Amino acid sequence: MRNAAITGWGMYVPEQVLTNHELEQMVDTSDEWIVSRTGIRERRLASTTEDTTLAMSCRASKQAIQVAGIDPADIDLIVLATVTPDKFMPSTSSLLQTELGAHRAAAFDLAAACSGFVYALAVGSQFIQTGVYRTVLVVGTDALTRFIDFTDRGTCILFGDGSGAVVLQASDADEGVLSNVLGSDGRGAHHLYIDGFDSNGLYAANGNGAVEELQRTYMKMNGNEVFRFSVRVMGETAVEAVNKAGLRLGDIDWLIPHQANLRIIDAAAKRLDLPRERVWVNLDRYGNTSAASVPICLAEAADSGKLKPGMNMVLVAFGAGLSWASSVVRWGSQGVRGREAERDG
Ligand code: COA
């Protein structure tokens, strides 16, 4: 089996910032409440014209391709994790393929909500490990704020938009994706969802089903249930991925977690016995960007230079489904070369 190494990374967040103080003007909440309960201070909102899911994916992907130093024509497969595609069909990944000039690539979207990127990483890495493909672009992009009811203080404080991407390449070195754990429990589906279309092609009824409400569909969430689930599952699935990789907790250098709530992240870090300085946190700036959160963290961590060859990290996410996913990744020297290439322009 060959290894699937991360050799390129990129991220994009929209320009428009929405602060907690601005939210105070919109719903009955306070900066103090949001920071103390979630850790979030501000988030980015996708512009309806500039920041389509395709456009955000394209920016993050181009960076990742540049860092990896590959030609887009080298890409064998694009897996794009999103639950907010611009169109039902074709897939956003097909549109992305054309934008990038990755004309040889197979392309499909993958929907696993906030777990989507880690699911996609598992899929992409397997195509490399089994020898089917050599170069895979894995993208996580969401614009969930399009489906947020900005009169619902239970959800509107949590989410932001963005995109992150990595290039995976076949490697014979001791690096790359070491293990994957994927999980789902559909019994919890009703705790976190966005309705789709009903059999008349209209958005399924929200609320009382009044005609004007059929025009929009909003995220519904039972925050307490999701919180309980996530505190349990983040730690459990992270430990499972470490065991599957044949490692011990002491071998883990970094936790790159889905950015939903600082209290949830802290619980996972505690389970892994990692101090805060070994946990990548950026939800204070971006909130929960769904499938984009883990690759945005990864891109920031890689750019910071704090990831050294041979370091092991756990990527872990959870979300609607209810779903969860984790991977152990060993950072390699190809990643360092990528960074140098990026620095040299
Ligand atoms: N501002 C101020 N008060 C708020 C509020 C807000 N934005 N949202 C809820 N409250 C109030 C509640 O109405 C409640 O008031 P009450 O005690 O008078 O009834 C009180 O604050 C406590 O609410 P509760 O829901 O118990 O708070 P919490 O500590 O569980 O935090 C979440 C709420 C949503 C932040 C938390 O449950 C959470 O993060 N859940 C996970 C959500 C998630 O990660 N979703 C995405 C998964 S990918």
What HEC string does the chain produce? CCEEEEEEEEEECCCEEEEHHHHHCCCCCCHHHHHHHHCCCEEEECCCCCCCHHHHHHHHHHHHHHHHCCCHHHCCEEEEECCCCCCCCCCHHHHHHHHHCCCCCEEEEECCHHHHHHHHHHHHHHHHHCCCCCEEEEEEEECHHHHCCCCCHHHHCCECCEEEEEEEEEECCCCEEEEEEEEECHHHHHHEEECCECCCCCECCCCCCCHHHHHCCCEEECHHHHHHHHHHHHHHHHHHHHHHCCCCHHHCCEEEECCCCHHHHHHHHHHHCCCHHHECCCHHHHCECHHHHHHHHHHHHHHHCCCCCCCEEEEEEEECCCEEEEEEEECCHHHHHHHHHHHCC
| Atom in ligand 1 nearest the alpha carbon of residue 114 | 48
What CATH number does residue 238 fall under?
A: 3.40.47.10
Q: Are residues 57 and 154 in the same domain?
A: yes
In a domain, 188, yes or no: yes
Q: Are residues 168 and 283 in the same domain?
A: no
- What is the residue range of 262's domain? 177-333
What share of the chain has pLDDT > 70, as a percent? 91
Domain boundary among 173, 194, 221: 173
pLDDT given at position 254: 98
CA-proximal residue: ligand 1, atom 2 (nearest): 29
Q: Are residues 200 and 245 in the same domain?
A: yes
Write the pLDDT tens digit of every residue in 131-188: 999 999 999 999 999 999 999 999 999 999 999 999 999 999 999 999 999 999 999 9
Domain boundary among 154, 173, 192: 173
| Atom in ligand 1 nearest the alpha carbon of residue 319 | 48
CA-proximal residue: ligand 1, atom 26 (nearest): 224
Mean pLDDT of 30-49: 97
Mean pLDDT of 184-195: 96
| Atom in ligand 1 nearest the alpha carbon of residue 260 | 44
Query: pLDDT category, 344, cuts 50, 70, 90?
Result: low
In a domain, 345, yes or no: no
Does 210 have pLDDT greater than 90?
A: no
Q: Are residues 138 and 56 in the same domain?
A: yes
Write the pLDDT tens digit of every residue in 259-291: 999 999 999 999 999 999 999 999 999 999 999
Q: Are residues 326 and 258 in the same domain?
A: yes
Question: Is the CB of 114 within 6 Å of ligand 1?
Answer: yes
User: Taking all residues of the chain, what is their mean pLDDT, rounded to a whole number?
Assistant: 93
Does 340 have pLDDT greater than 60?
A: no
Number of domains, the chain = 2
112 CA distance to ligand 1 centroid (A)?
23
340 CA distance to ligand 1 centroid (A)?
43
Write the pLDDT tens digit of every residue in 225-260: 999 999 999 999 999 999 999 999 999 999 999 999
Q: Are residues 133 and 15 in the same domain?
A: yes
Q: pTM of the predicted model, to two decimals?
A: 0.94
Domain boundary among 110, 141, 173: 173
